[in-house]
Amino acid sequence: MRIFFIGLVVIIFASCGEDKPAPKTKLTKQQMNDLSVQMNSWDSDRQRDEIEQYIRRRGWEMNLTPSGIYWMTLKEGKGDSARSGQIASVSYDIFLLDGTQCYTSDTTGPRDVNIGEDYVESGLHEGLQMMKAGEKKRFILPSHLAHGLTGDQEKIPPRSSVVYEVELHSIR
């Protein structure tokens, strides 16, 4: 037992020697850019997996746009199709993937959105242009089409995908 204790003390003291700092490596701008792209790709893959698991758990059949918006029609519309530059009157519910409701127009009433121009999520602008007056759709926006790296500073955390249920009442 005494030999074990002495050996342990020797190992501890030997490991407490001065550590030389690791040499600092500077990354080039290209290496920094490549690293940033890779990290964004990993985050995008993580979000896509998270969204697809969410959809499977609910048994939804959703479509996917080239930009990454998942969508499904909840109620068909019979009016005109929405276009950029028009003003859309919409009702909405916004949720996180954990089910937390962030915002609803039930408390504020329908909102007017100037499609393609208002300061709202780019994914919402794109989604509204997929709708007709009277239609209701469900969209899942990955963070890069919603509130991105910072969230909304209130209820939507950074890098969060969001679920929108949007009803387009009218366009003008």
87 forms bridges with which residues in the sheet?
114
Provide the pLDDT for residue 29.
75
DSSP state of 19: P
Among residues 80, 100, 102, 74, the alpha carbon closest in space to that of 166 is found at 74
Show pLDDT as tens, one digit a residue, over the chain (172 residues).
555 445 444 555 555 555 566 667 787 877 776 666 677 667 788 899 999 999 999 999 999 999 999 999 999 999 999 999 999 999 999 999 999 999 999 988 999 999 998 788 889 999 999 999 999 999 999 999 999 888 888 899 999 999 999 999 999 9
148 forms bridges with which residues in the sheet?
none
Domains and CATH numbers, the chain: 63-171 (3.10.50.40)
Residue 80 has which token pair? 């005109």
CA distance 69 to 133: 20
Q: Where are the alpha helices (DSSP H) in 16-154?
A: 29-58, 122-128
